[in-house]
């Protein structure tokens, strides 16, 4: 992998991790365009995912600090309730990630055709959430947190946006826009780290075996971190303003183009 390829893919990962357009789908498209396969692709994916986790922690540090301090008061306060909701939201993706990820990959595959189809599903979810007008709720309930977690579990499919699925599901349930982006980004921290840990345990991260130069990995990591910081702050403001319909249009176009390209290549 050349340094400029790492730079482009790092920027793609950083921006698309938070924007509702599917980072895994765009990384798969980028990997296909640059001809990255197997060990090389997996090693790079682990590195840039770690970078976006770090960017989330940096941007939402005050919120994380608020939750941690509240939890250690050992009282049933707003912070403890928020932390419990995050834990509840992680149950579905934890079960899928630990026990069924390989089965899901074997059943649905990971090709560009699947990515294109799931981008269209992401577009539909974003469009529904934009036009739906459910009754507004003041706080995210434990039940809603679990349902949003189910949406996150479905996003193990490449092309189905994790942030798009969780935010759109929360909006359809009637949760306030200003609460959802922050909750969506915080609930994904542990699952992303857990997924990276599973890949590490399987030997998925191997710079030497992948053949990727250390400089390229470092450039990709830094690019994903910086663009992730920018995209995280930007996305929170976008959700508050309710401008998700533009991403629905983008996902529709990207999905259609990806499906066409996959059919041409086959």
Of residues 103 and 192, the one with the higher pLDDT is: 192
- Highest mean predicted confidence (pLDDT) among 128-132, 138-142, 147-151, 232-236: 147-151
pLDDT confidence bin for 125, thresholds 50/70/90: very high
Helix 214-241 to helix 38-59 angle, to the nearest 10 degrees? 50
State whether residue 77 is helix, strand or coil: coil
H/E element holding 249? helix 245-265
Q: How far, in Å, CA of 21 to CA of 71, rounded?
A: 33
On the question of pLDDT at 224 being above 80, the answer is yes
Nearest CA among 167, 152, 174 for reference residue 91: 152
Instruction: Report pLDDT for 36.
Output: 59
Structure tokens, 106: 């074997």
Q: What is the pLDDT of residues 12-49, one digit of tens each?
A: 888 887 888 877 677 667 766 666 554 455 677 778 88
On the question of pLDDT at 83 being above 90, the answer is yes
Contacts of 219 (CB under 8 A, 6+ apart): 3, 6, 7, 10
Residue count of the chain: 266
């Amino acid at each position: 992998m050349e340094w400029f390829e790492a730079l482009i893919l790092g920027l793609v990962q950083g921006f698309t991790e938070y924007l509702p357009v599917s980072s895994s789908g765009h990384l798969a498209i980028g990997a296909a365009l640059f001809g990255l396969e197997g060990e090389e692709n997996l090693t790079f994916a682990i590195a840039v995912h770690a970078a976006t986790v770090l960017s989330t922690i940096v941007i939402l540090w005050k919120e994380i600090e608020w939750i941690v301090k509240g939890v250690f008061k050992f009282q049933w306060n707003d912070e403890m309730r928020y932390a419990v909701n995050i834990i509840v939201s992680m149950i579905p993706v934890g079960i899928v990630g630990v026990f069924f990820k390989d089965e899901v990959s074997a059943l649905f595959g990971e090709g560009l055709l699947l990515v294109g189809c799931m981008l269209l599903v992401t577009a539909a979810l974003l469009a529904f959430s934009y036009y739906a007008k459910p009754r507004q709720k003041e706080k995210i309930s434990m039940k809603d947190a679990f349902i949003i977690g189910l949406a996150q579990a479905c996003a193990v499919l490449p092309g189905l946006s994790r942030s798009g699925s969780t935010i759109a599901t929360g909006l359809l349930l009637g949760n306030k826009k200003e609460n959802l982006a922050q909750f969506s980004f915080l609930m994904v921290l542990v699952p992303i780290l857990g997924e990276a840990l599973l890949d590490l345990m399987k030997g998925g991260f191997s710079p030497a075996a992948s053949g990727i130069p250390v400089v390229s990995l470092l450039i990709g990591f830094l690019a994903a971190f910086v663009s992730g910081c920018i995209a995280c702050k930007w996305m929170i403001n976008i959700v508050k303003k309710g401008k998700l319909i533009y991403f629905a249009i983008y996902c529709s176009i990207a999905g259609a183009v990806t499906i066409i390209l996959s059919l041409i290549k086959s």
